[in-house]
Chains A and B, each alone.
Chain A
């Protein structure tokens, strides 16, 4: 597609439930990133995929968070046993080079 597509755009879930967030990057972009943005704060790095290399998971806040990227394209971020502090906007970005990310519109996750 023309841009980075994320779904759903909004998700309300009950505490303790699992959620899956999807990211469809720009075709041909080898790098894919997940960031989290809490209200009034900057973007917090979560995970980075580059081609077929092992992902950089150094930003995942706990073992409840995991992500995969299938076939070097679509990525899914999974949060298990959601907590209220997981409420945030989850942003996905893709890039060809190091010097410019294209972000999706994000998924706004609300845990009630």
Chain B
């Protein structure tokens, strides 16, 4: 059983569409991070959110941390083929991060 559940597991969309990826848990986390991973590479940090209700925007990406600090979402506007990859959420637990299983995003041109 994953401590952090990500949905959907796989998403295939056309260029220009919007999408949202969810990261849910029954546990409270001190922080929530989102990473993007491409084949053959390690995950790359996109954002860290630490305050319940926090919203951060990075260009076309919007990240939200739930009020109770148990869930998070990643919204991508006008997706591009370069957004293709594995998106991982990770929650802070003590001195380490607990990762979700990831969402594979494929954006077709």
Contacts and interface: CB of A to CB of B under 8 A. Distances in A.
Are both chains from one complex?
Answer: yes
B2 interface: yes
Interface centre among B4, B42, B101 (most CB of A within 10 A): B42
Nearest to B38: A105
Contact of A42 (B44, B48, B88, B92): B88
Interface residues of B, number: 25
Contact of B92 (A35, A41, A56, A98): A98
B31 A93 contact: no
> Taking each of B35, B40, B44, B97, which has the highest tally of chain A beta carbons within 10 Å of its own beta carbon?
B97
A71 interface: no
A62 B88 CA distance: 26
Interface in B63-105: 88, 90, 92, 95-102
Interface stretch (A14-22, A43-51, A74-82): A43-51
B33 A100 contact: yes
Contacts of B88: 42-43
Contact of B48 (A35, A100, A105, A106): A100
Interface of A: 4, 31, 33, 35, 40-45, 48, 50, 56, 59, 91, 93, 98-106
